[in-house]
Structure 1
Amino acid sequence: MPELQRLRPDHAPALLAFERENRAFFAASVPDRGDDYFTHFAAHLAERLAEQATGACHFHVLVTRDGEVLGRFNLVDVAEGEAELGFRLAEKATGRGLATTAVRRLFTLCTTTYALTKLRAGATLTNTASRSVLTRTGFVPTGEELVLSGERGLGYVRDLAAGPHPVALQ
Structure 2
Amino acid sequence: MPRLELLRFDHAPAVLDFERENRAYFAASVPDRGDEYFAHFDERHHALMAEQDTGLCLFHVLVDGSGAVVGRVNLVDVAEGSAELGYRIAEKAAGRGVATAAVREACGLAATAYGLTTLRAVTTLDNPGSRAVLARTGFVSTGEIRLDGRPGLRFLRDLRTPA
- TM-score norm. by structure 2 comes to 0.98
1:10 aligns with 2:10: yes
Query: For the residues of structure 2 that align with 1:50 and 1:147, how far apart are their CA atoms?
Result: 30
Tell me, what secondary structure is at the counterpart of 2:95?
coil
Query: For the residues of structure 2 that align with 1:39 and 1:149, how far apart are their CA atoms?
Result: 23
Tell me, what secondary structure is at the counterpart of 2:160?
helix
User: CA offsets per residue over residues 17-56 of structure 1, 9 Å max, x none?
Assistant: 0000000000011111010000000000111111100000
- 2:152 paired residue number: 153
Matches within 5 A, 1:1-170: 1-143=1-143, 145-163=144-162, 165=163
Tell me, what secondary structure is at the counterpart of 1:162?
coil
Aligned residues: 163
- 1:168 paired residue number: none
Following superposition, the deviation at residue 149 of structure 1 comes to 1.7
- TM-score norm. by structure 1 comes to 0.94
Following superposition, the deviation at residue 113 of structure 1 comes to 1.3
Following superposition, the deviation at residue 91 of structure 1 comes to 0.4
The residue type equivalent to 1:107 in the other structure is C
Following superposition, the deviation at residue 108 of structure 1 comes to 1.5
Query: For the residues of structure 2 that align with 1:63 and 1:125, how far apart are their CA atoms?
Result: 28
RMSD of aligned Cα (Å): 0.7
Tell me, what secondary structure is at the counterpart of 1:161?
coil
Tell me, what secondary structure is at the counterpart of 1:119?
strand
Following superposition, the deviation at residue 67 of structure 1 comes to 0.6
The residue type equivalent to 1:65 in the other structure is G
Query: For the residues of structure 2 that align with 1:130 and 1:81, how far apart are their CA atoms?
Result: 24
Query: For the residues of structure 1 that align with 2:17 and 2:57, how far apart are their CA atoms?
Result: 22
The residue type equivalent to 2:51 in the other structure is E
Query: For the residues of structure 1 that align with 2:85 and 2:100, how far apart are their CA atoms?
Result: 13
**Aligned-pair identity (%):** 63
